[in-house]
Structure 1
Amino acid sequence: MRNGTARAVVGPAALIVLGLTAGPAAAHGAAWTPVSRSVACTPDSGRYLGSPACDAALAASPGGALADWDNVRLKDVDGRDRDRVPDGKVCSAGLARFRGLDLPRDDWPVTQLTAGAPFTFRYRSSIPHAGRFELYVTRSGYDPGQPLKWSDLEPQPFLTVTDPPLVENTYTFTGQLPTGRTGRHLILTVWRNTRLPDTYYSCADVHFPADPGTAPAPPAGEGAQPARAAQAAAEAGAGAGAPISLASAARTPGRGTNGAAVAGASLAIVSLTSFLLLVFWVRRVKRC
């Protein structure tokens, strides 16, 4: 009876702790710079919320799916992306819950780039994995107003990186941007995990100015929202590829600006409470 009482008290406390820590296990990463569609439009902390493209993406993705900005993934792809993911559904990896990411629009938030220039890419990871990053760019003549097909992308990646360094939950690597591009384009990042059967897909809309020596005019849709225009100006002022600073430094849906800190503090409080309850009931059992 005494042992049963102790287990009854400790069991729920342990379940509370497990409930807080198990959540992020189904989430892993997405392109951060250039900003991907899922990162830009996540309902928890996306900097472009309220823009027409993000509003449309959220409306088309059922059940708040874009809160899982880091979970656009498929299992057992084995490099057969074009067989597994249908045309027109590349950005969602063919997953219906993320279908808002596939909307053909010319007003998705963009990152300003310079063709042929070196660029520092950043890929946010809520759960690190060993793996290879492959980056593909759309061909010349790409039309963002049409559904993205595999034939719109170059068949070979312009950059491939294996196991880049991970600093503060972000993989960072530098490479040369493709040449011969002007106007709106799209960069598809494919992250192939080597120790797990998962492959992740991230679509980032970018803009290459016709004359790299001059400041580009805002692409279609970029000036429609003051917040997005200000962000584009901030990125241009900080240099190409300055990271988008989302409200959450880690994946903490619904927890606001200091989500990671609040989650950590909550876990510490629950753990301490569980420990004190255990001590209390052990002492009580000993007295009986």
Structure 2
Amino acid sequence: MSVRLPVRRLTVTVAVLAGLTLAGTLGCGTAEAHGSMQNPPSRVEGCYLEGPEHPKSAACRAAVAAGGTQALYDWNAVRIGDAAGRHRELIPDGKLCSANAPEFAGLDLPRADWPATNLTSGADFTFRYHVTAQHKGTFRLYLTNAGYDPAKPLRWADLEQIPFLTVTDPTVSDGSYVLPGKVPAGRKGRQLIYAIWQRSDSPEAFYSCSDVVFDGSGAPAGSAGTPSPGSGAAHSHEATEPGTPTAAPPAPPAPSGAAASTEAARPVTAAVTGTPSAAPDATGTGTAAARPAADGLAQTGTDRSTGLAAAVGGAFLLAGATVVTVNRRRRRPGSHAR
């Protein structure tokens, strides 16, 4: 004897199962988000610390007006999942600070009033990179050149061809990668530090823009707070079999012109460029509240739409299987319902 499910109960059951499948699939997606420059603070982290809903500075308010508040809540996610060293190829002029991501378009605004940090030309300095997920890789810090105009969109040509600091697999202290080095000499006025963190265990890379000044008109170095624990976009590591090595990303394309000779001369795995300072600079403590991160950040090599399509497909397959099973039960020879 079989029991016939009422149509309403069957419909609810199928809907619940489909919903669980959809939610489970979306929940299993991998989010890649790792960090941003802390000292001197990047534009996105600095604006987050001002408060995403009501930033204090005119530049951060303009950034929110251009790209919304979510970009600031996702302060640790200015990234390209499949960069593999192809930074100049993938990021066009005028889009360096956002890494060409529409969500972070406000960070590219050409303004001469972005909050800036004081630096001393030619001095030892310990740069710090706030990290929410640690990975092996190399940090390269570039300073803008003498022709840089902060009131114009940032171009690759506005950066020095060779990074003034290169650090591979740095140590971590108090939640930040420690990058000891030396500030380039002979600088004055308002400049910008462009940081690229290229992972060696993945093609993924992270980018940040930090505004600095050499005339004493900015904020003291190390005076900015740090985002509260748990803030920023969520992260989970890629699913990799234990003991399975991950191929290193291919080498970036060789630069053209005068940069080619100097780029070739630079060691690929240079440990540290510049003179280390004795100890990391002190940093404050942040109190900004964190809003839940944007769900479904792209996994390296995939995107949100792929996971969503798989989830919807799985939900419908489950729903179809449920209907078929019920129909078979109802049509079994010799069975009856009462």
Alpha-carbon distance in 1 for matches of 2:107, 2:288: 27
Alignment equivalent of 2:112, drawn from 99, 103, 106: 106
Q: Distance in 1 between matches of 2:78 and 2:40?
A: 17
Residue 97 (structure 1) aligned with residue 103 (structure 2): yes
Structure 1 position 142, deviation (Å): 1.2
**Structure 1: gaps (5+ residues):** 1-7, 210-215, 220-231, 236-240, 261-288
Deviation (angstroms), 1:45: 4.6
Displacement after TM superposition at 1:259 (Å):
5.9
Tell me if structure 2 keeps the 8 A contact 1:44–1:67.
no
Task: Map 1:13-28; keep pairs closer than 5 Å.
Answer: 25-28=31-34
Match of 2:327 in 1: none
Quote the residue 2:137 is aligned against. 131
Aligned residues of 1:34 and 1:243 also touching (Cα < 8 A): no
Q: 2:170–2:179: 8 Å Cα contact kept in structure 1?
A: yes
Give, as a single letter, the amino acid of the residue that structure 2 aligns with 1:106: A
**In structure 1, which of residues 240, 246, 257 is the aligned counterpart of residue 287 of structure 2?**
257
Q: 2:194 aligns with which of 178, 188, 191?
A: 188
Amino acid at match of 1:187: I
2:70 is aligned with 1:64: yes
Q: Which region of structure 1 is more displaced relative to structure 2, 172-181 or 112-121?
A: 172-181
Secondary structure in structure 2 of the residue aligned to 1:101: helix
Q: Does 1:244 align with 2:250?
A: no
Normalising by structure 1, we get a TM-score of 0.68
Say if 1:45 and 1:246, in contact at 8 Å, map to a contact too. Answer: no
Distance 1:124 1:43, change over 3 A: closer
Assess, with a 3 A threshold, how the Cα gap between structure 1 residues 172 and 243 changes in structure 2: closer, same or farther: farther
Higher relative contact order, structure no. (Cα contacts within 8 Å, ≥ 6 residues apart):
2
> Equivalent residues in 2 for 1:148-163 (5 A)?
148-163=154-169
Inter-partner Cα distance in structure 1 for 2:87 and 2:81: 11
Query: What is the alpha-carbon distance in structure 2 between the residues aligned to residue 59 and residue 29 of structure 1?
Result: 23
Determine if contact 1:43/1:67 at 8 Å carries over to the other structure.
Answer: no
Structure with bigger strand share is: 1
Aligned to 2:149: 143
Q: 1:198 to 1:137 in 2, by over 3 A?
A: same
Asked if 2 retains the 8 angstrom alpha-carbon contact of 1:137 and 1:157, the reply is yes
Letter in 2 for 1:158: F
Distance 1:45 1:174 in 2: 29
CA RMSD, Structure 1 to Structure 2 (Å):
3.1
Deviations 1:45-104 (A, max 9, x none): 57x922100000011114622211110001222222111100000000011110000000
**Alignment partner of 1:77: what SS?**
coil
Structure 1 moving runs of 4+ over 4 Å: 43-46
Task: Say which of 95, 103, 127 aligns to 1:121.
Answer: 127
| Offset of residue 167 of structure 1 | 1.9
Q: Report how far residue 180 of structure 1 moved.
A: 1.7
SS at match of 1:203: strand
Distance across 2 between alignment mates of 1:149 and 1:252: 27
The answer as to 2:170 corresponding to 1:164 is: yes
Deviation string for 1:145-199 (max 9, x for gaps)? 0000000001110000011111222111210111121000000000001112211
Q: Secondary structure at the match of 2:107?
A: helix
Name the structure 2 match of 1:87: 93
Q: 1:243 to 1:124 in 2, by over 3 A?
A: farther
Structure-2 separation of matches of 1:132 and 1:250: 24
Amino acid corresponding to residue 111 of structure 2 in structure 1:
R
The answer to whether the 8 Å contact 2:140/2:167 transfers is yes
**Alignment identity in percent?**
47
Structure 1, 61-70 or 158-167: larger mean CA deviation: 61-70
Instruction: Structure 2: state its 5+ residue gaps.
Output: 1-15, 234-285, 291-338
CA–CA separation in structure 2 for the residues paired with 1:40 and 1:162: 25
1:170 and 1:247, CA in 2 relative to 1: closer, same or farther beyond 3 A? closer
Which position in structure 1 is the counterpart of 2:296?
A: none
Inter-partner Cα distance in structure 1 for 2:128 and 2:49: 21
